[in-house]
Chains A and B, each alone.
Chain A
Amino acid sequence: MIISWLANPERFSKVFAPVRPYLAAATAILFVWGLYLCFASPEDYQQGDTVRIMYIHVPAAWMGLFTYLVMGVSSFFGLIFRHALADAAAKAAAPIGAVFTALALITGSLWGKPMWGTWWEWDGRMTSVLVLFLFYIGYMALHASIEDETRAAKSTAILALIGLVNLPIIKFSVDWWNTLHQGASVFRADGPTVAPAMLWPLLIMALAYHLLFVWLWLVRIDCEILSRKYNGLRARISFREGGA
């Protein structure tokens, strides 16, 4: 009910414009607090100071997956209900997800070299995350290459839905195949195996990344709404001038 009420672009902008500054402030506060905890936490008895990479690598990887899920759900609603706001939401999420996924790959590589002795390994986890990144790039390239908004929305929504298959592959890749990457250590049926002194900075940073995503997503959706309004007005002017 609330979703259909908010599906009106005009109403969406009006409702979320006053929320955005508070979200930005909360994001900044959480980042400052999280970063303080990242550097105040103890070093790992095996990994030494490289464990501090975990506080930015793991949330980036989580956000890469979460953002794609958001993009997939938005695309589903866009495809079924053909609502412009759903496409705008999916389109707005893509660059954010691409950046988070690229960060997961880069920071993972920088963590892998001192710990595993290699920058990259073509194993299940790393390869499937690279495929996720390529899905983001493909989505953005496809959207940019189709001029007609309706056709672009439909084609990209289908691509986004196909890419959803990759999410469980990423999640279970460490269980299904031999890999250098460690298995799940936070979201486990028997509870996290990470020490509380390291778990808290990780969770605070994860929350900061989530808030950053929500804030950026809202800004980019509003940007998309403004763009479409502008393009609509320009088209009306061109039509009027052409008809005169």
Chain B
Amino acid sequence: MDFDFGKYAFYVWGCYGVSAVALIGLTVLSVVAHRDRAAKLKALQETLAAEKAQKVDA
């Protein structure tokens, strides 16, 4: 394996760099958004369950 691409280094590494940043970025954003939505929904469901339990007690 040779990583010295001579006069084409900028173009080759540029392509791999941009692709890595874009695909890793998309992955991180998607996973973070998913975790965030799951946490928000869980918190809301717990609040509603607590309210329901309070009403039953009352």
Q: Inside 8 A of A39's CB, which chain B residues have their CB?
A: 1-3
In the complex, what's the smallest C-beta–C-beta distance from A173 to chain B, in angstroms? 22
Q: Inside 8 A of A110's CB, which chain B residues have their CB?
A: 11, 14-15, 18
CB of A96 within 8 A of CB of B11, answer no
For B30, give its contact among A102, A103, A106, A223 (CB under 8 Å): A223
In the complex, what's the smallest C-beta–C-beta distance from B52 to chain A, in angstroms? 12
Rounded to whole angstroms, the CA-CA distance of A237 and B43 in the bound complex is 14
Number of interface residues of B (CB under 8 A): 30
Given A52-B5, A53-B12, A223-B34, are A103 and B19 neighbors across the interface (CB < 8 Å)?
yes
Rounded to whole angstroms, the CA-CA distance of A12 and B3 in the bound complex is 44
In the complex, what's the smallest C-beta–C-beta distance from B26 to chain A, in angstroms? 5
Q: Is B50 on the interface with A (CB-CB < 8 A)? A: no
**Which residue on A lies nearest to B19, using beta carbons?**
A56
Besides the known contacts A48-B5, A99-B22, 5 further A-B residue pairs in the complex with CB atoms under 8 A apart? A36-B1, A111-B11, A114-B7, A114-B8, A226-B34
Q: Inside 8 A of B41's CB, which chain A residues have their CB?
A: 226, 229-230, 233
CB of A223 within 8 A of CB of B23, answer no
Chain A interface residue number, banded: 35 or more
What are 21 inter-chain pairs, A to B, with CB distance below 8 A?
A39-B1, A49-B6, A49-B9, A50-B8, A52-B12, A60-B19, A99-B26, A102-B22, A103-B23, A110-B14, A110-B18, A111-B11, A113-B11, A216-B27, A219-B30, A220-B34, A226-B34, A226-B37, A226-B40, A227-B37, A233-B45
Q: Inside 8 A of A56's CB, which chain B residues have their CB?
A: 15-16, 19
Rounded to whole angstroms, the CA-CA distance of A102 and B19 in the bound complex is 10
Q: Inside 8 A of B40's CB, which chain A residues have their CB?
A: 226, 230
